[in-house]
Amino acid sequence: MIIKKPNSLKLKLSRNTTYRKFNKIFLNKYINILFFLFFIFFTSTYFFWLGAYGRIDGTLGRYRVFLNGLYQENINIVKNFVNGKLSNPASFSFDVKFQNLKEIQNKIDLLRKNEKILDKEERKLVNASLTYKGEKYDVGIRLAGGEMDHVSSTKWSFRCKVKNGKSIMGMHEFNLMNPHTRLLMSPWVCNEFYKKNDFININYEFVDITINGELKGVYILEEWFDKPMIEKDGGRAGIIFSPRYNDVIKIFKENKVLKNDQLKSQLSYLKNNYFGLINGEVNPSFFFDYDKFAKHFALVDLLNGSHVYNRQNTIWYFNPITKLVEPIGREWSSRAFNKIESITIDLEDVYFNKILFSDENFTKLYFKELELVSSKSYLESFFTEIKAEKDSLSSILHKDYPYYNYSFDYLIRNQKYIRNRLNKITDKIDTKLIIKEHNRAFIQIINNTNLPIQLNEIILNNENISIENKLLQDSSNMVLLDLDDYSNFSSAKKLETIFLNIEVLFLNQKKTFSKKVLIPIEYRNSLFTFLSKPNQEKIFKKYDLKINHQKQLIEFPQEVSFDEVIIIPPNYNLICNAGTKIKFEDGGGLVSYSSIYLNGSRDSPIIIEGNSSQSNSLVVIGNGVDTSKINYTNFYNLSKINEKDWGITGSITFYKAPVIFDNCSFSNNVIADDFLNIIKSNFKINNCVFNNSFADALDADFCTGVLNNMEFNNIGNDALDFSGSNIYVDSINFKKVGDKAISAGEGTIINGSSLIASSCEIAITSKDDSFIFIEDVNIFNTKVAFCAFNKKSIYGPGVIEIRNSKLSKIDVPFLIEKGSRLTIDDSIVDPVNNKKVKDMLYGIEYGKKS
């Protein structure tokens, strides 16, 4: 056997190889550990930056939108990109002088360096020009926005103010912002909720912006607060303001307000009521429009947009008709990423919300609106209505953000949260029996939720036990019922037979508790909750007005005289029978928050008569549903409510109050701008006569109406004045009209036939995007037969189409501005040569000064 000597070289090599492998493995692990630690440090630093600086300048929001979009859209990004490039948004091209642009850029650099928001110095306008649809406008621009995200990129936000009384897209002033600062599609969707709920709302558009030839891309256009914003939604010019901290009221366009006597008077009224509200001297129902604010709060909850409650973001409108304040929705900052964790009633630190929820009547309305917005059908209907426009706007956004996805899922989640909150309220109402000393028995009822419930009545074994209406906000409130007060329950031994029916407001559901506790849900309304005078019932007795509480009717006596304004509350209809005579002495008038029924007859008409220029007015403010009916009623010598701070301009006013007039006469009114003013209402007027109207006879704003077989004689200004309305007229006779027989403005549409106009200043006028079509027209002894023009810069031209007309003794048959159109029997009439018709009207050459 040969034993070989080990090869020392191979052994050495083997040992070296093993050593090198060991070192390599150890070194790899060491490098991996170092890499891991570096990765942790890097990512921690990056995400800290995202959470800190990134939150300040908006990077975090853009990052989250980007990642969410990639996850949601993935394969759709290519399609979005193509659709975006094919979209055709409005295009704004700005030309800014080098020095002015440099001034703005220096401000941006300073803001970025100091990481501070704009101060007064940064908000000064610089001159520029803006080209839109081939027309050049002089404008002023400045930086805009209250956070750093508005200047954190090259797509900085700015305010644009159109000069020389002109407007663009119907706006005098607007913001142009990086869409990320408003969460892209979110404000448009939120605003659509408000638009569909009849709020004063802001116009949102998506536009392409170019500055000095450099394409900046898609911006979001946000209308700023001005008179056109109110008027486009059918509102009457009023004060827009923001209640800031330290009892400061910021008035928008304050200089214009102070130069207008009526607005100045309204401002004084508003401030008195505002500070009275803060000091507890004014009931919130006399300051806030409860219906509007209840809807507003419910929508904010649905949108998870409580950012709107920040005082800087709180914008209100003083409605001069109702003399109440309405909210304007803006700055919801609603994010799909944020989980909803509360609703408005939970936010105890929001001062004005706390005031509103102190009134049980408002709380009822709020929960009623919560039920509405949390129903599945509510969102389903909304999604269907806005889908086409949403898809179109999304394509515009996809030009710059093909990864962007706006999902309605968060709204559905918010709905579910609200439903759960409402459904669980009855589970947290505890009832328990308490036996105290001397064997006395009590029933304790405690509300363990943070939602309010109200106990109206307790029923023990079919015996009704009335209690004072009490709102139980939380577990600190309770009802303790002493059963010794009732003969059937004089000792504890009988407690086993007790069950309770507890009325819980706000929810349409039932819940049975232990101890056989049944909770039927139904709403209850207290009498005269909204009256402006606490002693109203005494006043009714003073004038012998009969009140039937069961039928909710108020009936006037056969003859009555008022020397003060009588107020009819909501839900109590007013009835006057044939032959009733109502006279308004100095200071007398009638304001009804319910429908009225004036049932005169041919032989025994109702007479409503004033005797001075002090008040002597009829005002009906309705709910937009119930229709007033007025038959064979004669109105004489009426004026208007004599309060400068109330925006009532008519001798008779119907606001959101549908009405039918049959066989009525309107004669000899004084002072008022309109004899009959109908606002945001449907109406029918048949077989009626207007005689000797001080100014306009009938003024209808944002209405749908029918007029048939009517006469207008000796009218001071316009006989028929329509704004934003859809009207049908038939068989109308005008004699001696001081201004226009028919005036259509602000997008009004009038169709009709059989009109006769004689001795009028102007017969038929269409202006500001209005359209008039009439068959069989006879006009004679009149200065101007047909007039069409553009008056307000936020609107377009007027159009008139006439068939089968007869004109005689006319000074100027046609006064048609270039751009507007008059067609007679399919023949187009030539316009006046490059003249502004507006500059010839209103008492300058034709018509009367308005």
Query: What percentage of the chain has pLDDT greater than the value 90?
Result: 44
pLDDT over 80 (residue 559):
yes
Confidence of residue 649 (pLDDT cuts 50, 70, 90): confident
Tens digits of per-residue pLDDT, 719-774? 999 999 999 999 999 999 999 999 999 999 999 999 999 999 999 999 999 999 99
Confidence of residue 534 (pLDDT cuts 50, 70, 90): very low
Tens digits of per-residue pLDDT, 784-800? 999 999 888 888 899 99
Average pLDDT in the chain? 80
Tens digits of per-residue pLDDT, 744-756? 999 999 999 999 9
Taking the C-alpha atoms of residue 17 and residue 760, their distance in angstroms, rounded to an integer, is 115
Compute and round to an integer the Cα radius of gyration of the chain. 35
Rounding to the nearest 10 degrees, give the CA dihedral for residues 256, 259, 263, 267: 90
Taking the C-alpha atoms of residue 401 and residue 493, their distance in angstroms, rounded to an integer, is 75
3-state DSSP helix/strand/coil % of the chain, to nearest 5? 30, 35, 35
Confidence of residue 141 (pLDDT cuts 50, 70, 90): very high
pLDDT over 70 (residue 130):
yes
What pLDDT is attached to residue 517? 35
Mean pLDDT of 184-206: 89
Burial state string for 822-839 with b = 16 or more CB within 10 A and e = fewer than 16: bebeeeebebbeeeebee
Taking the C-alpha atoms of residue 489 and residue 497, their distance in angstroms, rounded to an integer, is 10
Mean pLDDT is highest, among 84-93, 248-257, 702-711, for: 702-711
Mean pLDDT of 45-56: 45
pLDDT over 50 (residue 439):
no
What pLDDT is attached to residue 463? 59
Contact between residue 372 and residue 422 where contact means Cβ atoms under 8 Å apart: no
Taking the C-alpha atoms of residue 122 and residue 112, their distance in angstroms, rounded to an integer, is 13
Tens digits of per-residue pLDDT, 383-398? 999 999 999 999 998 8
Tens digits of per-residue pLDDT, 657-670? 999 999 999 999 98
Tens digits of per-residue pLDDT, 230-285? 887 778 889 999 998 888 889 998 999 999 888 999 999 999 999 999 998 999 99
pLDDT over 90 (residue 693):
yes
Structural tokens at position 344: 């408005």
Taking the C-alpha atoms of residue 548 and residue 541, their distance in angstroms, rounded to an integer, is 13
Instruction: Please state whether the predicted TM-score (pTM) of the whole model is above 0.85.
Output: no
Cβ atoms within 10 Å of 689's Cβ, excluding its own: 17
Confidence of residue 453 (pLDDT cuts 50, 70, 90): low
Chain centroid to CA 589: 30
Confidence of residue 305 (pLDDT cuts 50, 70, 90): confident
Taking the C-alpha atoms of residue 784 and residue 506, their distance in angstroms, rounded to an integer, is 59
pLDDT over 90 (residue 494):
no
pLDDT over 60 (residue 476):
no
Tens digits of per-residue pLDDT, 424-435? 666 667 766 555
Which residues, including other chains, have CB under 8 Å from residue 39's CB and lie 6 or more apart?
none
Contact between residue 452 and residue 345 where contact means Cβ atoms under 8 Å apart: yes
What pLDDT is attached to residue 487? 41
Beta-strand pair 90-95/204-211:
parallel
Taking the C-alpha atoms of residue 324 and residue 190, their distance in angstroms, rounded to an integer, is 24
pLDDT over 60 (residue 837):
yes
Task: Map 417-432 to HEC letters.
Answer: HHHHHHHCHHHHEEEE
pLDDT over 80 (residue 440):
no
What pLDDT is attached to residue 730? 96
Least confident of 20-24, 794-798, 809-813: 20-24
